[in-house]
A and B are shown apart, each in its own frame.
Chain A
Amino acid sequence: AQSVTQPDIHITVSEGASLELRCNYSYGATPYLFWYVQSPGQGLQLLLKYFSGDTLVQGIKGFEAEFKRSQSSFNLRKPSVHWSDAAEYFCAVGPPGYSTLTFGKGTMLLVSP
């Protein structure tokens, strides 16, 4: 069975500092990988996705993620965090070509002034 682990429940970062959110997955082959962001009481917005090819993917709002097959990881990064980035971030995996997703439990990002 596939699963996603986001080891950090909460992370606090100073505005302007860099950010890395961790995601590890368990899957029989290389899945499709996603990062979503959720503001309080809202739905999910896709930040970026990895299907194949270049292991460093760029997303919206200045985010990027790197797929590392050997570590079964897909960590999300941003070089300089803005206060508006405060939200909950979810990593998700899905079978290639299908849109059914397995989500991690999320990491809440807090941005301090």
Chain B
Amino acid sequence: ETGVTQSPTHLIKTRGQQVTLRCSSQSGHNTVSWYQQALGQGPQFIFQYYREEENGRGNFPPRFSGLQFPNYSSELNVNALELDDSALYLCASSGPGRRNTEAFFGQGTRLTVV
């Protein structure tokens, strides 16, 4: 069984640009969550997708958006990048089912905004 994979592993963007991060969920999982981990902080919940629909959102502005595809992979899009968006972005998958109990994390994408 394959684990959660994220791409790219590292990314450097300029302030004001847009970025797309990708996540492939673990086999059999239909729920994907995204987290932002700033340096020296714990991960913060951005949003969750269940069967292609948003299933909860944390305290992040609308310029953070996402998608989930029929194969349950997911994208995180961030528009109008700000310096404070520099962080490790973690994807976690869980399931099957909307009510599930354990999240498996990918290795993350390190985003640097300059």
CA distance A105 to B37 in the complex (A): 10
Q: What number of A residues sit within 8 Å (CB to CB) of B?
A: 23
Q: Chain B, interface size: which category? A: 20 to 34
Question: A110 on the interface (CB 8 Å rule)?
Answer: no
> Which residue in chain A gives the minimum CB-CB distance to B59?
A1
- How far does the Cβ of B8 sit from chain A's closest Cβ, in whole Å? 14
**In the complex where A99-B92, A99-B100 touch, is A44 in contact with B105 (Cβ < 8 A)?**
yes
A100→B33 contact, CB < 8 A:
yes
Count CB-based A-B contacts (< 8 Å).
Answer: 64
* B2 at interface by CB-CB < 8 Å: no
Residues of the B chain whose Cβ atoms lie less than 8 Å from the Cβ of A90:
42-43
Which parts of B68-108 form the interface with A (CB within 8 Å)? 88, 90, 92, 94, 99-108
Report the bound CA distance from A43 to B43 in whole Å: 10
Contact A105 B100 (CB under 8 A): no
Structural contact, B101 and A51, CB atoms closer than 8 A: yes
Question: Would you mind naming 19 contact pairs between A and B with Cβ atoms under 8 Å apart?
Answer: A42-B107, A42-B108, A44-B90, A44-B105, A46-B102, A49-B101, A90-B42, A90-B43, A92-B42, A97-B99, A98-B56, A98-B99, A99-B33, A99-B101, A99-B102, A100-B33, A103-B44, A105-B42, A106-B41
